């Protein structure tokens, strides 16, 4: 739980963001999410038009899934570490990250996949109606897209915001062609802190609406 001093610092940070950004292209449900990303990264580029891309059903689907106690599946432990743990505790959400599974490397090697890809495959059942949160591995996002197209799984929301130079921007473009709710961004930027901040913002919207 946030201390009074911590809350005052966060409130001041949000006021600075509001003041420095000024007008922006996001609606009243999208903007708290974008603002939370900027707060987590101190990167005002995310406020630009079409920098954060929302599927029309993304926020509603994500909030409803969280409210109903869906699983939250992350590509790396850094995403889990960035979540406010009180939220999943209050709503009964199971946090899943398989990247450190001791058997994962061998299974990935056998199937000629990366560990990130394999970690998505073994979480297929938990993904149904769940929220996928990918902040680090473009291969994980591409694998999820493939799984959705195969009919293996159907998440309530895919948060795909991996950072990097190899396939990061391309995986986000590909996500926008899939018929599932998504939140993503354009370009190479992203990361675990961005991904976690989106989930935290969705929980905050859930509590406020």
The DSSP letter of residue 178 is S
The DSSP letter of residue 48 is S
Helix (H, G, I), strand (E, B) or coil at 101: coil
Active-site residue (options: 33, 36, 38, 39):
39
Helix (H, G, I), strand (E, B) or coil at 110: helix
Active site residue 24: no
For the residues of 187-201, what is the DSSP string, one character each?
Answer: SS---HHHHHHHHHH
Task: Report the distance separating Cα 148 and Cα 131, nearest Å.
Answer: 13
Strand intervals (E) in the chain = 52-54, 72-74, 95-96, 131-134, 157-160, 182-185
Question: Which residues have a catalytic role annotated?
Answer: 39
């Amino acid at each position: 739980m946030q201390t009074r001093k911590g809350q005052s610092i966060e409130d001041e940070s949000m006021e600075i963001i509001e003041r420095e950004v000024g007008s922006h292209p996001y609606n009243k449900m999208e903007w708290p999410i974008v603002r939370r990303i900027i707060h987590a990264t101190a990167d005002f580029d995310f406020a630009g038009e079409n920098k954060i891309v929302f599927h029309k059903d993304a926020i509603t689907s994500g909030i409803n899934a969280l409210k109903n106690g869906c699983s939250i599946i992350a590509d790396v432990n850094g995403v889990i570490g960035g979540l406010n743990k009180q939220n999943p505790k209050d709503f009964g959400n199971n946090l899943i990250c398989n990247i450190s599974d001791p058997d994962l490397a061998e299974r990935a090697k056998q199937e000629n996949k990366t560990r990130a890809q394999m970690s998505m495959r073994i979480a297929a059942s938990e993904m149904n109606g769940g929220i996928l949160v990918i902040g680090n591995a473009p291969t994980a996002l591409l694998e999820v897209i493939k799984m959705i197209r195969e009919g293996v799984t159907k998440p309530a929301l895919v948060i795909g915001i991996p950072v990097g130079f190899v396939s990061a921007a391309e995986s986000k473009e590909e996500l926008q062609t899939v018929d599932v709710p998504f939140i993503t961004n354009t370009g190479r930027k992203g990361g675990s802190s961005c991904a976690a901040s989106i989930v935290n913002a969705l929980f905050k919207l859930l509590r406020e609406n």
